[in-house]
A and B are shown apart, each in its own frame.
Chain A
């Protein structure tokens, strides 16, 4: 049953997401063929090269935003909108439904982010080939003294994406408990969460400032380690809270219109 649900979830969302990926790939190919050449000929000063770069940037930006918004809307519709009637009457556990939806959104988002980043890298690298760009990045990585930092950055980025998806799911779950203003309450929940996170961030900065003043850190590495561990704790703790709260709200407070 789990396999079937994953299959349907991927199939359902694939049409739009593959369309967005195609847009990014086509823009990148066109950009590599024309923009690089025109920009290099004009030395980056021509009006046409400026316009082409603008069209490319807007295109990549639009494909990324449309893809992300589509995933959010689809999540809402299939969980708490009309299509939620189909989702929630399937003989599948609520936890399975949430897990699969979050994982599929995560998968599409990762591909979208990687494609967009790779595209920008290819276009901004001028006349260099794709393999050359990758070997440049690899060389730069080899020159780093603390190589584990790259692993931490990637891991933190993945955790941030998961946390953001769960945060949105949590806000929708709060919003759907309202009888009249489901979307409005979801947005309100998001705004409140944002302010809570900002306040906690300020408290954290102030307290780490005090710790620094009081000589709690012996070296720059201590500071980096402290920020690293704090970021992990915050991302993991918030993800766990969002996940279990969403599950609770869906199991005990589901309120489909």
Chain B
């Protein structure tokens, strides 16, 4: 399978603090990956680097064989870990915005998903609850036919019913040839959808395997393995 994302020896420092310390990671097309690690392990930093919101001090990141730039942004659909859209904007404005800038955005699909959730496109974001805002952002991301979906903590801070909806939406809407990278520490909720996982700690990948291997060889779930590896 072809490599869709390659991160080679990535070093990212914030002043004297090293967030990523020679991290290597590569993703193949058509798989769902979990980027798992405790708080402050470097997950969000890595995701921000891939999305061009930060710049690494050392190393190289290639998306579909190309350096980070306009072309990589065309193929990545990214869900940040917080609300990043102006709260005064109406949902329909946001949909038009995405439709204007992303050629792979399916406006009809976005409106269908909104209808399923009984969210009015005429409402502004500030009138929506936190969970509904997250669902709107997820709809925007999943309504694209992207090659790589990067979801940073998509189920954090929402109730179990909303989590289920979010995971179902991800699975139901992603293209089988696409790749998904999900960052979270709520492993039990997502491990059933993962093909592979990366354990990340102190800015390095300390373990990478398939979910099936762990279950067959170690007889453990990823959640159990995570608790064992990252025991305090």
Interface stretch (choices B48-56, B114-122, B126-134, B171-179): B48-56
A179 to B52, CA, bound (A): 17
A8 within 8 A of B: yes
A89 within 8 A of B: yes
A147 within 8 A of B: no
A103 to chain B, nearest CB (A): 18
B40 within 8 A of A: no
Is B55 a contact of A253 with CB atoms below 8 Å?
yes
Task: Report A-chain residues with C-beta under 8 Å of the C-beta of B53.
Answer: 84-85, 88-89, 254, 256
A86 within 8 A of B: yes
B197 within 8 A of A: no
Is B85 a contact of A4 with CB atoms below 8 Å?
no
Task: Report A-chain residues with C-beta under 8 Å of the C-beta of B102.
Answer: 91
Given the known A-B contacts A91-B73, A252-B55, A254-B52, are A4 and B86 also in contact in the complex, defined by CB atoms under 8 Å?
no
Is B54 a contact of A82 with CB atoms below 8 Å?
no
A1 to B78, CA, bound (A): 20
A173 to chain B, nearest CB (A): 13
Given the known A-B contacts A86-B85, A92-B70, A179-B14, are A8 and B55 also in contact in the complex, defined by CB atoms under 8 Å?
no
C-beta contact mask, A225-254 vs B, less than 8 Å → 1, else 0? 000000000000000000000000001111
A78 to chain B, nearest CB (A): 8
Task: Report B-chain residues with C-beta under 8 Å of the C-beta of A1.
Answer: 101
A22 to B101, CA, bound (A): 31
CB within 8 Å of A: which of B50-74? 51-55, 70-71, 73-74
Given the known A-B contacts A83-B85, A89-B78, A90-B73, are A256 and B101 also in contact in the complex, defined by CB atoms under 8 Å?
no
A105 to chain B, nearest CB (A): 17
A90 to B102, CA, bound (A): 8
Is A83 a contact of B86 with CB atoms below 8 Å?
yes
A199 to B80, CA, bound (A): 45
A77 to B71, CA, bound (A): 25
How many residues belonging to A are interface residues under a CB distance threshold of 8 Å? 24
CB within 8 Å of A: which of B63-102? 70-71, 73-74, 76, 78, 80, 82-86, 97, 100-102
Q: Across the interface, name the chain A residue whose C-beta is closest to B76.
A: A89
Number of A-B pairs, beta carbon distance below 8 Å: 56
B96 to chain A, nearest CB (A): 9
Q: Across the interface, name the chain B residue whose C-beta is closest to A3.
A: B100
Q: Across the interface, name the chain A residue whose C-beta is closest to B72.
A: A91
A68 within 8 A of B: no
Q: Assign chain B's interface to a size class.
A: 20 to 34
Is B101 a contact of A92 with CB atoms below 8 Å?
yes
Is A8 a contact of B73 with CB atoms below 8 Å?
no
A208 within 8 A of B: no
A183 to chain B, nearest CB (A): 18
CB within 8 Å of B: which of A68-96? 77, 82-86, 88-93
C-beta contact mask, A1-21 vs B, less than 8 Å → 1, else 0? 100110010001000000000
Is B74 a contact of A91 with CB atoms below 8 Å?
yes
Task: Report B-chain residues with C-beta under 8 Å of the C-beta of A83.
Answer: 84-86
B101 to chain A, nearest CB (A): 5
Given the known A-B contacts A8-B100, A91-B101, A179-B15, are A82 and B84 also in contact in the complex, defined by CB atoms under 8 Å?
yes
Is B83 a contact of A82 with CB atoms below 8 Å?
yes
Task: Report A-chain residues with C-beta under 8 Å of the C-beta of B54.
Answer: 254-256
User: A88 is contacted by which of B52, B86, B100 (Cβ under 8 Å)?
Assistant: B52
A132 to B193, CA, bound (A): 76
A5 to B80, CA, bound (A): 22
A84 to chain B, nearest CB (A): 8
B8 to chain A, nearest CB (A): 18
B115 to chain A, nearest CB (A): 24
- Some 9 contacts from A to B, beta carbons below 8 A apart, are A8-B97, A83-B85, A83-B86, A86-B85, A89-B78, A90-B73, A91-B71, A91-B74, A256-B48
Chain A contacts to B: CB under 8 angstroms: 1, 4-5, 8, 12, 77, 82-86, 88-93, 179, 251-256
- Which 5 pairs show the lowest CB-CB distances between chains A and B? A85-B84, A91-B73, A256-B53, A91-B74, A4-B100
**Known pairs A91-B74, A254-B52, A255-B54. 10 more at Cβ < 8 A?**
A8-B97, A8-B100, A83-B84, A85-B84, A89-B52, A89-B76, A93-B70, A179-B15, A251-B55, A252-B55
